Amino acid sequence: MSRGFTSAPWPSWDGWTQELASSLASCVNSPLSNDLLCHETSEIKGGLIALLKLGLNDHAVLKNIALNSYRHPLGFTKILIWRGASGKSIRVHDWPSTQDERSTAPLSDIHDHYWEFRSSILRGALRFREYEINETGEEYTKYEMNPLGNGNHILTKVATVGLSLARTVVIPEGGRYALGANTLHDTTSTQGAISLVVQGAKTKTTNIVLRKGEGPQTIDNSKLPHLRIDELQWLLRQLIIKLEPTHV
């Protein structure tokens, strides 16, 4: 294993995030498996804490992270740690822990992705529900979602289909989850969660969204408010506190 998680921090954010990406490279290039995040959760958590501390007071790092981080329409805060070629990325997802925060998030669309991903749950728990299209399922409207650039996407109605729940998986703290690009799913957290997500390369140009009835025909992520630097600093401090071994 490379240096990334176990030894003293690299002197710069860029150096350490590149090492982190290299250390996780076999994860995003290997066949899907829940065991393929390559490192123990405690090791991942410790490395992430040190990395966040390294970037906490570096204005250039904070500015770059803030420009690429935002409150996602599905309810979590997305914090981009590293971005590579072909859509690969490493990011932290911070899911809200209070009912008030959860109630302000829109209902979760059932969807697939342009890429596969692996998720390590560092705190809390996440519920993944996977679905399959069949003739006997509940009626949903199926859309194809295509990017228009600048964060915009257009939804094109394809058909009305039957949709059935295939399985529900609750991943507790310390657990891992792997999902293929074509798997229809939704994700929720009832108690709050922090996860490290390793996203693979983009493998297709269109993905699928399923909704009950009709819905908006466009998704404009370009208008999502990105985090201010002071908001990001506060959030990173909260993440460090929550992830520290002494936190109860």
> For residue 63, what is the domain's CATH number?
2.60.120.10
Q: Is residue 105 part of a domain?
A: yes
Q: Which residue has the higher pLDDT, 161 or 8?
A: 161
* Dist CA 63 CA 127 (whole Å): 32
Q: Is residue 30 part of a domain?
A: yes
Q: Is residue 79 part of a domain?
A: yes
Q: What is the mean pLDDT of residues 48-76?
A: 86
Q: Compute CA distances 60 → 6, 92, 111, 224, 231, whole Å.
A: 25, 19, 35, 22, 15
Which helix H or strand E contains 27, and what residues bound it? helix 25-29
> Do residues 122 and 93 touch, judged by C-beta distance below 8 A?
no
Which helix H or strand E contains 52, and what residues bound it? helix 41-56
Q: Is residue 248 part of a domain?
A: no
Q: How many independent structural domains does the chain possess? A: 1
Mapping DSSP to helix (H, G, I), strand (E, B) and coil, where does residue 179 land? strand
Q: Is residue 3 part of a domain?
A: no
Which helix H or strand E contains 197, and what residues bound it? strand 193-199
Query: pLDDT band for position 128 (50/70/90)?
Result: very high
Query: pLDDT band for position 129 (50/70/90)?
Result: very high
Query: pLDDT band for position 238 (50/70/90)?
Result: very high
Compute CA 102 distance to the chain's CA centroid, rounded to the nearest angstrom. Answer: 16
Whether residue 13 has pLDDT greater than 80: no
Q: Which residue has the higher pLDDT, 145 or 148?
A: 145
Q: Is residue 8 part of a domain?
A: no
Domain of 182 in residue numbering reads as 13-243
Q: What is the mean pLDDT of residues 102-109?
A: 52
Q: Is residue 2 part of a domain?
A: no
> Do residues 71 and 26 touch, judged by C-beta distance below 8 A?
no
Structure tokens at 190: 């009832």
Q: What share of the chain is helix, strand, coil (3-state, %, to 5)?
A: 25, 40, 35
pTM of the predicted model as reported, rounded to 2 decimal places: 0.83
* Dist CA 192 CA 125 (whole Å): 7
